[in-house]
Amino acid sequence: MLVSNNIGHPAADQPAWWAAYTQHQHEKSVAEMLSAKGFEVFLPLHESMRRWKDRQKLLSLPLFPCYVFVRGLLSRRLQVVTTPGIHMILSRGEQIEVVPEAEIDAIRRAVQGSCRIEPHPFLKIGERVRVMRGSLEGVQGILVRKKNFCRLVLSVDMLAQSVGVEVSASDVEPVACVGPKTVVSEGLDAGIGNIQRNFPSAGVNYGARLDSTR
């Protein structure tokens, strides 16, 4: 599991955001149960049109499949991992890994905005920009181009997953960079060769352990 080196560990009496790994298609029920226990829960969703031979339907699906973000205290850790539908909390060694508040806030603002948002391949290479105006003002991410649209890619480093929200190239500026704005095209041919997307997998050691009651 890829874990960002700048993820900190707050004091035991300070609530922090955790990533709970759930059973497939149990994200919404897990979120409801955690909320009923009094936890602050964040389950970002996006709309996706699914088509069958005889019908089509607009569904609300998790942006990060099999993950629910929960804010909690270490003293309430057991209440989370014993919730039906949860496999584990992502951790390193004996310490639960913390999702940075800035990443949660950026995803939350993107979901609450009016722009289209959807899952996106995890990116670590590309020009980092800051949104100058609108509902995402101040949010930073990686700017890419897909067909005729520009997207701001927001990542949760600990999950090695990203989402893309449509933005106007005129609404962003480079971060700590002098000179005209540039937009990278999405894909390996554009030089974005370090696209990674990793999920918990049995028998693979990524340097982070998954905390479980089993």
% of the chain at pLDDT higher than 70: 75
Tally the domains of the chain.
Answer: 2
pLDDT at 181: 46
Same domain, 121 and 107: yes
Residue 21 pLDDT exceeds 80: yes
% of the chain at pLDDT higher than 90: 49
Listed in order, strand segments (DSSP E) in the chain are 16-22, 40-42, 45-51, 56-62, 67-72, 86-92, 95-96, 117-120, 128-131, 140-146, 149-156, 161-167, 172-174, 184-185, 209-211
> CA-CA distance, 92 to 208, in Å (whole number)?
4
CATH code for the domain of 173? 2.30.30
5 found inside a domain? no
Residue 79 per-residue DSSP state: H
52 found inside a domain? yes
Residue 192 pLDDT exceeds 60: no
10 found inside a domain? no
> CA-CA distance, 95 to 140, in Å (whole number)?
28
Same domain, 153 and 131: yes
Q: What are the tens digits of pLDDT across the range 43-70?
A: 999 998 888 888 888 889 999 999 999 9
Residue 204 pLDDT exceeds 80: no
Same domain, 67 and 134: no
pLDDT band at 125 (very low <50, low <70, confident <90, very high): low
What is the average per-residue pLDDT within 121-126?
73
pLDDT at 115: 84
pLDDT band at 108 (very low <50, low <70, confident <90, very high): very high
Could you tell me which residue, 2 or 17, shows the higher pLDDT? 17
Residue linked to tokens 């905005």 = 113
pLDDT band at 100 (very low <50, low <70, confident <90, very high): very high
Same domain, 93 and 109: no
Mean pLDDT (the chain, rounded): 79
Domain residues for the domain of 56 are 16-100+201-211
Residue 140 pLDDT exceeds 70: yes
96 beta partners: 91
Same domain, 166 and 207: no
pLDDT at 179: 44
